[in-house]
Amino acid sequence: MSSILSGPVIALGLITSIWSVLLFARDRRASNTMLLVLIAFEVLLLVQLIVAIVLVTRGERPDETATFIAYAASELLILPAGVFWSAADKSRTSVLVIFIACFAVAVMTARMFQIWSTVGG
């Protein structure tokens, strides 16, 4: 797993997190544009999972392979759960759920990158 893939995931997670906080501050809900960005984010996470699985099956394994794969698979579930929860919640704080989901994915990806640094070392 390289910074070529993890860098954009972390950046997009942080950008959408900030965007969510700004929506909360302005008393707005998630827009269709944000939902499209979150769909693209989910596709990027799917690509990340596929690349991770391919690399692990080719023999490039970090010290904590099970944790690494668990993070990669869990990330795919966090964003949809956050979006559905946010859509179901009609309160002002619904966009903060998206903030938490996006920030969690960014942190998990950073941790995955840290775990991957043990490969070959």
In a domain? residue 11: yes
In a domain? residue 35: yes
pLDDT digits (tens, 9 = 90+) for 3-57: 788 999 999 999 999 999 999 999 888 889 999 999 999 999 999 999 988 988 9
30, 90 Cβ separation under 8 angstroms: no
pLDDT digits (tens, 9 = 90+) for 75-107: 999 999 999 999 898 788 889 999 999 999 999
In a domain? residue 121: no
In a domain? residue 92: yes
- CA angle 110/112/113 to nearest 5° reads 65
Print the domain residue range for 96: 3-116
Count up the domains in the chain and report the number: 1
pTM beyond cutoff 0.95:
no
- CA angle 22/10/40 to nearest 5° reads 75
